[in-house]
Amino acid sequence: MIKIISSVNNLLKEQLYAISLYIRQISGTIVLFIIARYLSVFDYGLFTSYKSIITFCFMFANMEYANYILVSSRANIKEVKLKISLFLLNAIFIGILIAFGSKFFPLDSHSLFYLIIIRTFFDSIFFGLILPYFQATKNFTTIAKINIVYAVCISLIAIFSYIFKLSLYKFLILNIILGFINFIQCSYFAKINYLLVFKYIKRFIRMLDKSIFGYVCSTISNYLYAETSSLYVATFLPKEQAALYFSANTVAMIVGLFSAAQTQKMLPDIIKSDVENIKKVLKKNLIVVNSILTFIFVLIMLFGKIIMKLLFGQDYYTNAYPILIIYFLANIFIANGAILGVYLTAINKQWLKTRLKIETTVVTVLGLIILHGFGIYGAVSVLLISSVYVSIRFMIYSLKYIKLGACYEKQL
């Protein structure tokens, strides 16, 4: 019995970071479920639409910079910290530009849009850019604890908002306060000195190398193929239909709980590994992710409508069931492509990833042109088609370069 408890404790310690990511993303999903239960369908559609648009605009703040920071610095802690400070200030500047640019568009609520910009920065952009520090120091325990505390707090804020029926504005302000506290805490822990960027701006910029353009182009192409359907829904369809689409998206994004955690933990190990170990890591993660997602997919097929009613609390959202099925399938293929894509990132083949995603973007645009008349169903079907395409392309090239790497090692 003692041995079993000890084994469980060791497993929890080893997988604490992955578990923390699951908890954090689950909490983020739960937050959407909770606010959907008391917000009107229009307000929920407005919130999720703005969130989708802002997330797309913020791609310029984190174009796989986290991976670039870690890979280009070869996990050198001092250099990682310097680059983090530069890219975080860049993200703040881009957030200001998004807010200013929104003034030229006829939004239903500009003030709501501004609050979602700030919340998005603290909730996702900051976490993404600070991550390389914890990867370089291999201090996953600390970032895991931060993730868990943050997840609990945003869940409590959502519950508090639901109980007292707080407006969307007050809900966002509470989230921003929590995000700002976390920003100060993490910056202090990692000893990030943002003032150095202003003092030595030219020296900081010289630290960047040409390989960054591979990450930039890869991210732009990734957003174009992955978010085009969502942007179409957020921009052109009625907010009530957008609410259906993004409610299905929220449930289907559970795929990200598994793939994101696995890919982030895989990258540091793959960078300095031999081909045989890389093959084992890829195979292990593909088996784990696909086994779990297949089980969840079966549950959704059987109980999808019940799940939507329970999670969102309104009968209207059961209409999202067929959209959910298609969306979940698409995300399974995206998850497989993401895991295989880690190897291409580790061997610095970002330009290849960019090319493959540009191909997929063309497929997506053509699909929307052909299927746009089908509304939501056309958009989600295009997402499935593009996901299958990019996953197959990533598999072909990953296997190709693994084989080339094996041949090179034999020659040595």
pLDDT band at 54 (very low <50, low <70, confident <90, very high): very high
Are the C-beta atoms of 383 and 229 separated by less than 8 Å?
A: yes
Q: How far apart are CA 134 and CA 344, in angstroms?
A: 22
Model pTM score = 0.71
Cα 88 to Cα 60: distance, rounded to the nearest angstrom: 12
Q: What residue type is 211 in one-letter code? A: S
Please check the confidence at residue 22 and state whether its pLDDT lies above 50.
Answer: yes
Q: Which of 55-59, 215-219, 244-248, 326-330 comes out lowest in average pLDDT?
A: 215-219
| Residue 411, pLDDT above cutoff 50 | no
Question: Confidence band (pLDDT; 50, 70, 90) for 230?
Answer: confident
Residue 408's pLDDT is 42
Of the candidates 363, 367, 361, 359, which has an alpha carbon nearest to the alpha carbon of residue 396?
Answer: 359
pLDDT at 249: 86
Average pLDDT over residues 10-17: 65
Highest mean pLDDT of the ranges 176-180, 306-310, 376-380: 176-180
Using an 8 Å Cβ cutoff, are 73 and 79 in contact?
Answer: yes
CA 122-64-146 angle, 5° bins: 40
- Identify the burial level of 188 via C-beta atoms within 10 angstroms of its C-beta, where 0-12 means exposed, 13-18 middle and 19 or more buried: exposed
Q: What is the chain's mean pLDDT, rounded? A: 83
